[in-house]
A = this chain, B = another copy of it.
Amino acid sequence: MSSIASGNTIAEVGGLMGDAARANMLMALMGGQALTAGELARVARITPQTASGHLAKMIEGRLLAVEKQGRHRYYRLASGEVAHAMQALMALAADGHRRHHPLGPRDAALRLARTCYDHMAGRLAVAIADALSAQDCMVLSDGAAVLTQKGRAVLDSVGLPMDGTSARRPLCRTCLDWSERRPRLAGRLGAALLARALDLGWIVRTPGNRALTLTGQGEEGFRRAFSLPVDWRAGPSP
């Protein structure tokens, strides 16, 4: 029903995100991994049949994409723009929040390194951005970033050739997630870096959630590749 799946209006998109159950599902998918319908129903605390309805609506509205695999159906965000829109909404929602930071044991892992849609977040990601910036590999200015010649060389040495300046996707963007509000690498470079680090076995995903575990190789690799200070885990230094 409705239109032939052509163009949404702002109100339609907003309405889709403007439901608690759907928002919860979208938040769960912000981790970047595809989840099954059942998992999404559980995270939203609704019955599977209700979840199914919501998912269908979000597919119709082009917020999600599906991939069926066996008897499972894996849902994921349809595009980076969806993630971006969610972030923008989160920024508004967080306004007066001053959320409780229980800082539990599992929280500590998330705080160190986690995924945020398609790139890394947490202390590690911030430390990398800081180090690159401090070494003139990249110029950070008001939340935007530009890579220098030297920066390209460094990234190239990690196996990340940043050749084309083509895409109009930002290299770096401040991403208002819960945890330190400091710039980190997102965008095209951020996505490439996450993929490469997973590839090298420097970090591994945790099955259930968005947390990333830093391996021994990773500890060493990151420190050497980006010349991280020894105390990078301590958080914002200045």
- Residue positions of A touching B, CB distance < 8 A: 5-20, 22-23, 26-27, 62-63, 81-82, 84-99, 139, 141-147, 165, 167-174, 183, 187-188
Contacts and interface: CB of A to CB of B under 8 A. Distances in A.
A23 B9 contact: yes
Copy total for this chain: 2
Contact of A11 (B23, B95, B141, B145): B23
Contacts of A188: 142
Nearest to A189: B142
Given A81-B91, A91-B81, A91-B85, A15 B13 contact: no
27 contacts: A6-B96, A6-B97, A7-B94, A7-B98, A7-B99, A8-B92, A8-B96, A9-B93, A10-B86, A10-B90, A11-B18, A11-B22, A11-B23, A13-B89, A14-B15, A15-B19, A17-B18, A62-B96, A63-B92, A85-B85, A88-B89, A142-B167, A142-B170, A143-B168, A143-B169, A144-B144, A168-B183
3 interchain residue pairs of minimum CB distance: A15-B18, A144-B144, A14-B18
A98 B20 CA distance: 30
A88 B81 contact: yes
Given A8-B97, A13-B92, A15-B15, 13 more contacts: A7-B93, A7-B96, A8-B92, A10-B17, A10-B23, A14-B17, A16-B18, A85-B92, A141-B165, A142-B168, A142-B171, A144-B172, A144-B173
